[in-house]
């Protein structure tokens, strides 16, 4: 069985669902974009797809989190 994931369609569906709930979201398509967004804006929630969970991303995300707490 072959699984095809269409990221752009998934993003469009998720953004539409969030909009119906009165919520807004930013999308990062890779770990670097996510880190840059976290450094420039305060978020109430960060959700990450497992494909972004490279060791470098996880380490950087932890550093950004600790900087926010300080």
pLDDT band at 51 (very low <50, low <70, confident <90, very high): low
Average the pLDDT over 5-25 and give the result. Answer: 89
Whether 2 maps to a domain, the answer reads no
In a domain? residue 65: yes
> How confident is the model over 46-63, as a mean pLDDT?
65
Domain-located, residue 18: yes
Residue 53 has pLDDT above 80, yes or no: no
> For 9-26, b where at least 16 C-beta lie within 10 A, e where not — what string?
eeeeeeeeeeeeeeeeee
| Residues 21-33, mean pLDDT to the nearest whole number | 87
Please check whether residue 1 lies inside any domain of the structure. no
pTM of the model: 0.61
> What SS3 class is residue 35?
helix
Residue 25 scores a pLDDT above 90: yes
Q: Indicate the number of domains in the chain.
A: 1
Q: What is the mean pLDDT of residues 29-51?
A: 80
Q: Which domain holds residue 39?
A: 7-69
Q: Tell me whether residue 27 is in a domain.
A: yes
Residue 28 lies in a domain: yes
* 46 within 8 A of 37, measured Cβ to Cβ: no
Whether 34 is covered by a domain: the verdict is yes
């Amino acid at each position: 069985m072959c699984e095809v994931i269409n990221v752009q369609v998934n993003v469009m569906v998720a953004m539409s669902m969030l909009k119906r709930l009165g919520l807004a979201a930013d999308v990062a398509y890779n770990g670097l974009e996510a880190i840059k967004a976290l450094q420039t804006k305060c978020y109430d929630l960060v959700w990450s797809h497992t494909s972004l969970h490279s060791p470098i991303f996880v380490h950087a995300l932890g550093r950004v989190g600790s900087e926010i707490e300080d």
